[in-house]
């Protein structure tokens, strides 16, 4: 354990963290446009059934489950003069941007599906590395605060997508300009990352290979990150291939138990979240007789509150501990959702959803930092992959599971009961999490 004085001497590099957030902003913006526009194109242009549309829209989650752990581990073992993550980002992001612009231009279903599948595949190649950048340059005690900033940037990307993407999609029947907006912002994000972000591993690699390191803001920040990371982590001056895919197996038994419990909690709370995200509009329109647009606006309050509380939730996790903050969030969201089981007035549901957004920020912002707390400096990508394996699996399983429940009981009234049970299960699982708040020197086998 590091002393309290060392922790207090660490300061988050806010400009660098915001600039890293541009990668998440670009990713979130692209997904928001993809999720809102692709179903419309499939329905209007190709006249596909809703069941098939729903199946097509899970392609990204299937790719995430398959590729995120693999790419996370592979990037851990990548070593170049520009770092471990940046090669994946530098290659994958521009290809992804070009493919995204091509999606709305395809006039046959075969080519349209080809563009979609290629986009989802390439997106899976750089999503985990771009998320791993933050813990790569941020010491463990500061990761909750940094993750709050990253998620706030992602929220800004989603809002830009819904507002400007919505306006641009109406300029042409093929919705090309909405997709072009995402392409331009993804390419700008790449320029920002390559210009201002330098991984500590890139600095170390250049030193070991006797490559000159020029004086630039990015290199100064990279060296500063390296010093801060070294003050809280053991730096490995020699590079050996890590058994990254099986990094979990090298943990001591009590750490394994904590990590498994945490990953189960992540799976179950994303089960609850994804059920609401997928079926709330159907619930609200049937329960309160409102339009789909009005139902969507009710969920906007949840998203905006999450955005507002993203940074405060990170700071709270840093101050009182991540486990405690997540537990408070889980208790809070259960308390917010329980009254909805009685089908109260629409305005009370709206108020409870707004409060629930703050609770969700406490949960979501502190979860990835807890998972990567179990990693060494060399296996951050692998543990990021574990996080996405469980969250993406929940995104696949949840709509199918709750959809089957809804079809079996022939009612929309079970949505929040299902969500409460999922969040409650996550709260119970968190009881068994004993590690992940403060960095401990984990001795691997």
Helix (H, G, I), strand (E, B) or coil at 164: helix
Q: What's the token pair of residue 384?
A: 């990021």
Q: What's the token pair of residue 134?
A: 């933050």
Mean pLDDT of 386-390: 90
Mean pLDDT check: name the lowest of 174-178, 233-237, 304-308: 233-237
Question: Crossing angle for the helix pair 109-137 and 217-232, nearest 10 degrees?
Answer: 60
Residue 49 predicted with pLDDT over 90: no
The position carrying tokens 């951050």 is 380
Q: What is the C-alpha to C-alpha distance for residues 445 and 371, in angstroms, rounded to an integer?
A: 19
List all residues 6 or more positions away from 373 whose beta carbon is below 8 Å from its beta carbon.
Answer: 140, 143, 322, 435, 436, 437, 439
Q: Would residue 239 be called left, alpha or beta, if left means φ above 0 and alpha means ψ between -120 and 50 degrees? A: beta
Check residues 385 and 439 and name the one with the higher pLDDT. 385
Mean pLDDT check: name the lowest of 90-94, 208-212, 345-349: 208-212
pLDDT of res. 87: 94
Query: Which part of the chain is CATH 1.20.1250.20?
Result: 1-241, 243-445
Residue 437 predicted with pLDDT over 90: no
pLDDT tens sequence across 190-210: 999 999 999 998 998 998 888
pLDDT of res. 293: 65
Band of pLDDT at residue 419, cut at 50, 70 and 90: very high
**Strand locations in 11-127 (E):** none
Query: CA of 230: how far to CAs of 201, 227, 382, in Å?
Result: 12, 5, 20
Q: What is the C-alpha to C-alpha distance for residues 381 and 376, in angstroms, rounded to an integer?
A: 10
Band of pLDDT at residue 442, cut at 50, 70 and 90: very low
pLDDT of res. 263: 96
Q: What is the C-alpha to C-alpha distance for residues 324 and 151, in angstroms, rounded to an integer?
A: 20
List all residues 6 or more positions away from 440 whose beta carbon is below 8 Å from its beta carbon.
Answer: 1
Helix (H, G, I), strand (E, B) or coil at 124: helix
What's the topology of domain 1-241? Growth Hormone; Chain: A; (1.20.1250)
Residue 3 predicted with pLDDT over 50: no
Mean pLDDT of 78-92: 92
pLDDT of res. 2: 43
Band of pLDDT at residue 325, cut at 50, 70 and 90: very high
Query: CA of 397: how far to CAs of 62, 337, 342, in Å?
Result: 10, 21, 26
Q: What is the C-alpha to C-alpha distance for residues 417 and 115, in angstroms, rounded to an integer?
A: 39
Q: What's the token pair of residue 441?
A: 């020197």
Nearest alpha carbon to residue 334 among 411, 290, 272: 272
Q: What is the pTM of this model?
A: 0.81
Mean pLDDT of 209-228: 88
Q: What's the token pair of residue 201?
A: 């591993």
Band of pLDDT at residue 444, cut at 50, 70 and 90: very low
pLDDT tens sequence across 96-139: 999 999 999 999 999 999 999 999 999 988 988 998 899 999 98
Q: What is the C-alpha to C-alpha distance for residues 78 and 86, in angstroms, rounded to an integer?
A: 10
Q: What's the token pair of residue 328?
A: 């408070």
CB 231 within 8 Å of CB 6: yes
pLDDT of res. 290: 80
What percent of the chain clears pLDDT 90, i.e. is strictly above it? Answer: 44
Q: What is the Cα 79 distance to its own chain's centre?
A: 24
Query: CA of 285: how far to CAs of 279, 292, 294, 346, 410, in Å?
Result: 10, 6, 8, 11, 15
What percent of the chain clears pLDDT 70, i.e. is strictly above it? Answer: 91
Domain 243-445 classified CATH 1.20.1250.20? Answer: yes
pLDDT tens sequence across 252-293: 889 999 999 999 999 999 999 988 887 887 788 888 888 766
A 10 A CB-CB count for 110 gives 8
Residue 347 predicted with pLDDT over 70: yes
pLDDT of res. 300: 78
A 10 A CB-CB count for 441 gives 10
pLDDT tens sequence across 54-65: 778 788 888 888
pLDDT of res. 164: 85
Mean pLDDT check: name the lowest of 30-44, 125-139, 143-157: 30-44
């Amino acid at each position: 354990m590091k002393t309290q004085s060392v922790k207090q001497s660490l300061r988050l590099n806010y400009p660098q963290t915001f600039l890293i957030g541009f990668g998440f902003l670009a990713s979130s913006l692209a997904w928001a446009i993809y999720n809102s526009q692709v179903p419309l194109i499939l329905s209007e242009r190709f006249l596909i059934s809703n069941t098939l549309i729903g199946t097509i829209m899970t392609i990204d989650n299937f790719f995430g489950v398959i590729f995120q752990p693999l790419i996370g581990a592979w990037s851990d073992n990548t070593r170049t003069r520009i770092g471990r993550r940046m090669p994946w980002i530098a290659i994958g992001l521009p290809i992804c941007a070009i493919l995204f612009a091509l999606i709305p231009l395809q006039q046959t279903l075969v080519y349209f599906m080809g563009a979609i599948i290629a986009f989802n595949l390439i997106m899976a190649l750089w999503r985990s590395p771009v998320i791993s950048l933050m813990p790569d340059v941020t010491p463990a005690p500061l990761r909750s605060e940094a993750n709050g900033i990253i998620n706030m940037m992602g929220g800004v990307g989603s809002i830009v997508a819904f507002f400007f993407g919505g306006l641009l999609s109406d300029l042409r029947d093929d919705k090309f300009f909405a997709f072009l907006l995402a392409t331009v912002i993804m390419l700008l994000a790449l320029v920002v990352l390559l210009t201002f972000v330098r991984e500590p591993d890139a600095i170390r690699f250049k030193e070991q290979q006797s490559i000159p390191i020029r004086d630039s803001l990015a290199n100064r920040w990279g060296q500063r990150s390296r010093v801060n990371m070294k003050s809280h982590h053991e730096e490995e001056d020699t590079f050996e291939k890590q058994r990254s895919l099986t990094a979990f197996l090298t943990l001591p038994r009590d750490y394994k138990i904590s990590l498994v419990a945490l990953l189960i909690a992540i799976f179950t709370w994303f089960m609850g979240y994804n059920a609401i995200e997928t079926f709330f509009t159907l619930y609200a329109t049937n329960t309160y007789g409102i339009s789909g647009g009005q139902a969507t606006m009710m969920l906007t309050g949840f998203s905006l509150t999450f955005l507002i509380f993203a940074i405060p939730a990170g700071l709270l996790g840093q101050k009182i501990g991540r486990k405690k903050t997540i537990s408070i969030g889980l208790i809070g969201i259960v308390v917010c959702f329980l009254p909805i089981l009685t089908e109260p007035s629409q305005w009370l549901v709206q108020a409870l959803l707004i409060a629930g957004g703050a609770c969700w920020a406490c949960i979501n912002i502190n979860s990835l930092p807890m998972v990567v707390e179990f990693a060494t400096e060399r296996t951050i990508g692998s543990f990021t992959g574990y996080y996405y394996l469980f969250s993406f699996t929940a995104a696949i399983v949840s709509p199918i599971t709750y959809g089957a429940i809804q079809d079996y009981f022939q009612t929309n009234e079970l949505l929040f009961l299902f969500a409460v049970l999922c969040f409650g299960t996550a709260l119970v699982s968190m009881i068994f999490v004993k590690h992940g708040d403060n960095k401990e020197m984990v001795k691997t086998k």
